[in-house]
Amino acid sequence: MIIMICNRCVMDTTDPNIVFDDHGVCNHCEKYDELNVSAGNFKDIVKKIKQSKKGKEYDCLLGISGGVDSSFVAYTAIKAGLTPLAIHLDNGWNTEIGNKNVKNIVRKLDLPFETITLDWDEFKDIQLSFLKASVPDLEIPTDHALLSVLHQVADAHNIDYILMGCNYRTESHIPTAWSQGYFDWKYIKSIHDQFGTVPIKTFPHMDLVTLNYSSLKHKIINTLNYMDYNKQNAMNILEKELGWSYYGGKHYESIYTRFYQGYILPVKFGFDKRKSHFSSLICAGEMTREQALNELKNPTYPIELQEQDKNFVINKFGLTLSEFNELMKLPNKKFTDYPSNNNIIISTPYKYVIGGLQKMGMM
């Protein structure tokens, strides 16, 4: 198969939905140019957040994983004079570096902090269900749980604002074919109903109605979109001021994410997420296309560590090597092969209502 690659970034036809213009530039780069504008004045947002406190203990909520984006959001919030509550979701896959980063940030910023630990039997069963479903969306359960937890904690503390580390500058080139369904509990539940064995009693989740209602109550602020965010500069600040350490790749502060992105996706599906991450950095001016192409010639991460992670994941899941290999050989499926809320979400009435609420600043 001939692989076509974008003339501006390093995204290519391993994204089955990629489109190129007459100059050989992909749709992801075009979207980057459309979206990579300032979301507004960060000082104005800070002012609104402070005004929302009104005698409350906290004026905002944020999630912290030990990764660069969420860590820099915490740093920025404290430097801006906000009084956030930080939440860490422990799904059982933290690296030592990730845990150390969280501890250093909380201690040095004097940050109020809570850890929410997922029930391992339930969460393991959901993750195994996704492996058995043979879809590339293996991190969706964690993403959904985190969003649900943040809304639940915001409810408990009557907090109006949730600060997130999502941003256009470093996360713009994301193919839906490589992963989707983050907010779709129907999708997650349908896969678990078909392949799971452990009843779900405590796993944090929100159906579509609850998600939209919570989004009206708590305004999510993608904090880094309100500033000229530079990932390398952020890392330098975090290292110097907070004793933060880099973990080797985007979201590699999690063992499972590292193995999923660095082994399962490329080996089973032919998707190399580095192409997405590097392409965003290229458009942001933090990496050259030549640097990215050269880096892509290297393994996703050290082969020895891949084997170590494979053994760790297999043992933690209670699988044998043979069972894991059989899962890797299953015919590949995609998001649309399972029940979801997608037909509702892409419908014109739904888009009209959500778009109207967003324009009014309610979501």
- Which strands form 219-222's sheet, in the order they lie side by side? 113-117, 84-90, 60-63, 161-164, 219-222
The answer, as to whether pTM is greater than 0.75, is: yes
The pLDDT value given to residue 144: 96
Domain ranges of the chain: 38-359
% of residues, the chain, pLDDT over 90 = 81
Question: Taking 90 as the threshold, does the pLDDT of residue 69 lie above it?
Answer: yes
Picking from 114, 70, 77, 75, the residue whose alpha carbon sits closest to that of residue 251 is 70
pLDDT for residue 251 is more than 90: no
Is the torsion defined by CA of 13, 16, 21, 26 positive or negative?
Answer: negative
Q: How many CB atoms lie within 10 A of CB 41?
A: 11
Contact 86, 112 (CB under 8 A): yes
Those residues with Cβ within 8 angstroms of residue 77's Cβ, 6 or more apart along the chain or in another chain: 60, 62, 84, 163, 223
User: What distance in Å separates the CA atoms of residue 97 and residue 111, rounded to the nearest whole number?
Assistant: 19
Helix (H) or strand (E) holding 88: strand 84-90
Answer whether 131's CB lies under 8 Å from 138's CB. yes
pLDDT recorded at residue 121: 97
What pLDDT digit, counting tens, does each position of 259-303 carry?
A: 999 999 999 999 999 999 999 999 999 999 999 999 999 999 999
| Per-residue tokens: 78 | 């404290």
Q: Residue 84 pLDDT more than 60?
A: yes
Distance CA 232, CA 238 (A): 10
Rounded mean pLDDT of the chain?
92
The region that residue 246 occupies, defined by phi over 0 for left and psi between -120 and 50 for alpha, beta otherwise, is beta
Quick one: pLDDT at residue 168?
87
pLDDT of residue 354: 46
Q: Quick count: other Cβ atoms within 10 Å of Cβ 21?
A: 12
pLDDT at 36 over 80: no
- HEC string for 216-252: HHCEEEEHHHHCCCCHHHHHHHHHHHHCCCCCCCCCC
Tally the residues of the chain.
Answer: 363
Residue 350 to residue 332: CA distance in whole angstroms: 30
Query: What pLDDT does residue 200 have?
Result: 96
Pick the CATH number of 38-359 from 3.10.105.10, 3.20.20.100, 3.40.50.150, 3.40.50.620: 3.40.50.620
pLDDT of residue 346: 61
Average pLDDT over residues 68-83: 96
Alpha helices in the chain (DSSP H): 27-35, 42-51, 68-79, 96-109, 120-133, 140-157, 185-195, 208-217, 231-242, 255-259, 273-283, 289-295, 303-317, 321-329, 342-345, 348-359
Nearest-10 crossing angle of helices 303-317, 120-133: 120
Counting residues of the chain whose pLDDT is more than 70, the rounded percentage is: 93
Query: What pLDDT digit, counting tens, does each position of 160-200 carry?
Result: 999 999 888 888 899 999 999 988 999 999 999 999 999 99
* 299-347 tens-digit pLDDT: 999 999 999 999 999 999 999 999 999 999 999 999 999 999 987 766 5
Q: Is the pLDDT of residue 359 over 80?
A: no
More confident position, 248 or 206? 206
Asked if the model's pLDDT at residue 355 lies above 60, the reply is: no
